[in-house]
Amino acid sequence: MWACVSDPFDEIKVAKAITESLKGSRVVVTTRKVEVATMMGAAAQMITMQLPSDEYCWSIFSGLAFRERNSEECKQLERVGRQIASKCQGLPLVAKSLGSSMRSEVTEEEWKDVLCSRFWELKDEQTKTFAPFSLSYYDLSPGGRRCFCYCSVFPKDCEFEKDGLVHMWMSQGHLSGSRNPEEESEKCFQILTVRSFFQDFEVDYDGSIKISKMHDILHDFAQLLTRNKCSTMRVEVNMEKAEPPRVEKILHS
């Protein structure tokens, strides 16, 4: 059984999800934080998973970046591509994001520009974590960026119903400059999907994507990008008064 734990943390909801799906007496907790294992009283039983190798990340990266290239192009770009793949630091999601974005970069010089990007030189730990996704994000069209950032208003682990999300983008005017906003919104969803901004797909009878989710890290990235425009707050049932954080201009709350 699996119970997903994200912000905002609700211990009653999590406990209910666990008990409802119980089939045995063992619980496996997966986390990126050692503190969680300690809090669960399972530090002595903790199994630390090793990060995948650079070669594994290269296989993911090259499988996406070289998908529509001939053998000569792949050979020419492999040296630079392996250097870019080494920036993934063993993280498959980063390899997927970078590999997907590099499909649109044609020449070796464009690949070298990515390799030498200033994003890799960021010192702040938070922004450094998001560096690979920043490269994919800023390669999007302005409308695509707005559509991605809009997803920050939803809670983590939210299931996005594709048609509903597309119509919300249209209602917000994120692609209002297009002659056919609905067609452009559909195209935008496909681009974000190809670049691994969405995952965990449920498909319809015709094979088209019906429902998707966003990885927690990408959701955090979207919230970072909209920190001066969106406010997220947790409201307790018995809270008498709650004030949103003060930012210059809140567009969504």
Rounded Cα–Cα distance for residues 55 and 89 (Å): 11
Displacement of CA 153 from its chain's centroid (Å) = 14
Ramachandran quadrant class, 41 (left: phi over 0; alpha: psi -120 to 50; beta: rest):
left
6-59 pLDDT, tens digit each: 777 888 888 888 887 777 667 788 887 888 888 888 888 888 888 888 899 999
In the predicted model, is pLDDT for residue 60 greater than 90?
A: yes
Domains annotated for the chain, with CATH where assigned, are 11-45 (no CATH), 54-138 (no CATH), 142-225 (1.10.10)
Euclidean distance between CA atoms 95 and 89, whole angstroms = 9
163 contacts: CB under 8 Å, gap ≥ 6:
none
CB 76 within 8 A of CB 65: no
Summarize pLDDT for 119-173 with one digit per residue, the tens: 888 777 667 778 888 888 988 889 999 999 999 989 888 899 999 999 999 988 8
